[in-house]
Amino acid sequence: MSASIVGQRRSFDGHLCTIRYVGTVQGTTGDWLGVEWDDAIRGKHSGEHKGIRYFSCKSNKPTAGSFVRPSRPSDQPRSFLEALREKYASEFEDLSCLNISEASRKKAIQISGKVVEEVGFDKIRKQLAELKELRIVLLDGLLIAGVLPSYDQVQDQDAAQKIAETCPKIIELDLSRSLLSRWRDVWEICNQLKHLKRLKLNGNRFQALNDLIFEGVTELHLEDTLLNWDEIAAVASQFPGLTSLTASANQLSEITRPLPNTITTLTLEHNEFTSISALRHLAALPNLEHLSVRGSAIDTVNNDTTPLDFQFPQTLRSLDLSRNKITSWTFLNQLPTLFPGLTTLRISDNPLFDQPTLPQTITATEPSKPMTLDEAFMLTLSRFPSSLTTLNYSIIKPTDRSNAEMYYLSLIGKELSATSEAEEPAILSTHPRYSELCELYTEPTITRAVISSSGSRVIHPRSVAARLVKMAFRLSKNKEDISEVRVKEIPGSFDTYQVKALVSRLFGLPAFGFKLVWQTDEWDPVEKENVEAVDWDDSEDEALDEQDIVLPKHGGPDSGFVRREVELVDSTRDIGFLFQGEEGEVRVRVEVPFESTFTS
């Protein structure tokens, strides 16, 4: 058997493969075909048998290769038009097979002197007319070998011309997971389709590129072709009008050269990139608008010590980094600089969001718990400027941004409070937006720990952080005011955001789906319209100057009086300033349910 068949595609019992070797195998008789299966788990090795390597596979999986006998029957290949008719006109019969001359077709058939209808011709004409109107054609998995139904394709101008006559209006064509291996076979099909814009060749295995130009195609899909990046870039250069390229699942670990400047949308999902710096050549694309590296192995911005010397263009507004291996907030801090034009980001399903909001050494008052979806959303949003308008498919509202930034600012305050003043510059270097946020909102209260003689940190006994407030949270479950009560001791250094996060976990409520209303020790007459005449303590006045006063319209224990209730609005201020005693009761009032936006 000739070695010229190396590189050709075969299908055995519905399983696609590529011939990588023809010849003998030591210790056996006769010739063998060494094949690489598209489904890598189907084989038994990578081209090596008893210590001798006979061929190499493109797949990096160790079980992609097998040996099969040349006599093993393979599935019958199809021509393009055979696959088209099978998919879209299964009852179609080629008129040339009927052995009826054109004159006979036009001549009416007479039986006993009466004209009768030509049997089956109307159905054939109808199906032919339908094929001519096809605009989107999906022929994936139909074992197409090319213009002709043969592994050994020869140029046939008449057969190619029939494609143009049969389906001239195709704008989208899917030839994925087929028997195509030569680019010329693809070109001979596409060259007949003058309106073709979108071409999908996923799952094929191609040989060397020919010097061919694919006119008109603007969108190309090369998923799971196992082409390396140089080969992908070379193919893209043969499509002069290309604006959208998909090259997912190709084992790519680095971008080694730029693409044509016409590219605006680039999808490189499920590859093996480990850093943003591996994509640096893409920053040279002046018109790039959307980039997706979803489902890769990215966990760092730069995988070496060399300074970052690239920046993506302002045109790049949409980035998808979801389902990678990002574990550090420092990674997110660098994204606004690397992607200055970013308005849309997707970054969910990274291990970063399985961590607590602060290290255990800072939140030592209670066990560390993974951040909630709402906390993850806020802590991500707050690291980006206002130019970011969409996060994980959720449009960012002004209130979303202000709540997120104040919450983030409060956590920075907690981190500073748990460290010494000498450590402050190092900590603030990990929060590049701190100064900006302090100008927008109130600077967080910082209550630093005292260093003991042994060198360990202790909380000053007279500080707000040292006081634990026992709070009873009451959630009414129905109109009969049957309530569920949960009691929790909370450090006075907690702010409202942290209290809400705790309540969210206690009752299983979304963080933005409820309000907290505190019953104070003060009493007000039911008929009172305002509380301007109340004598406030000076220490409370400052703490409550931003709180909304709520006067409930129900009876109190004393006739005509009710307890004053104050809503704990979102703020970075420590709750320890609100409670003079060591106990407090807070009513949880459920609002309109909030639907989390941090899911995949």
539-578 residue pLDDT tens: 333 433 444 334 344 444 444 556 667 777 777 767 766 6
427-457 residue pLDDT tens: 999 999 999 999 999 888 887 755 555 555 5
| 454-477 average pLDDT score | 62
Q: What is the pLDDT of residue 449?
A: 57
- CA distances in angstroms from 448 to 420, 451, 483, 577, listed in the order given: 7, 9, 38, 16
Report strand pairing: 219-221 vs 198-200: parallel
- Concatenating the DSSP letter of every residue in 504-552 gives HHHHT--TTSEEEEEEEEEEEETT----TTS---HHHHHHTTTPPEE--
Q: What is the pLDDT of residue 360?
A: 56
What is the average pLDDT score of the chain?
82
Q: What is the pLDDT of residue 382?
A: 96
Retrieve residue 460's tokens.
């000053």
Q: What is the pLDDT of residue 584?
A: 60
216-229 residue pLDDT tens: 999 999 999 999 99
The larger pLDDT score, comparing residue 381 to residue 100, is at: 381
Whether the per-residue pLDDT at 490 is higher than 70: the answer is yes
Whether the per-residue pLDDT at 315 is higher than 90: the answer is yes
Q: How much is the pTM?
A: 0.75
The larger pLDDT score, comparing residue 553 to residue 468, is at: 468
Q: What is the pLDDT of residue 595?
A: 42
- The residues that bridge with 549 in the sheet, in sequence order, are 566
Q: How far apart are CA 355 and CA 348, in angstroms?
A: 13
What domains sit in the chain, N to C, each tagged with a CATH number? Answer: 8-68 (2.30.30.190), 78-93+125-351+386-393 (3.80.10.10), 355-361+369-385+394-464 (no CATH), 467-526+558-591 (3.10.20.90)
Q: What is the pLDDT of residue 19?
A: 97
pLDDT category of residue 534 using cuts at 50, 70 and 90: very low
Would you give the distance in Å from CA 499 to the centre of its chain?
31
Q: How far apart are CA 366 and CA 197, in angstroms?
A: 59
Q: How far apart are CA 429 and CA 464, in angstroms?
A: 27
pLDDT category of residue 598 using cuts at 50, 70 and 90: very low
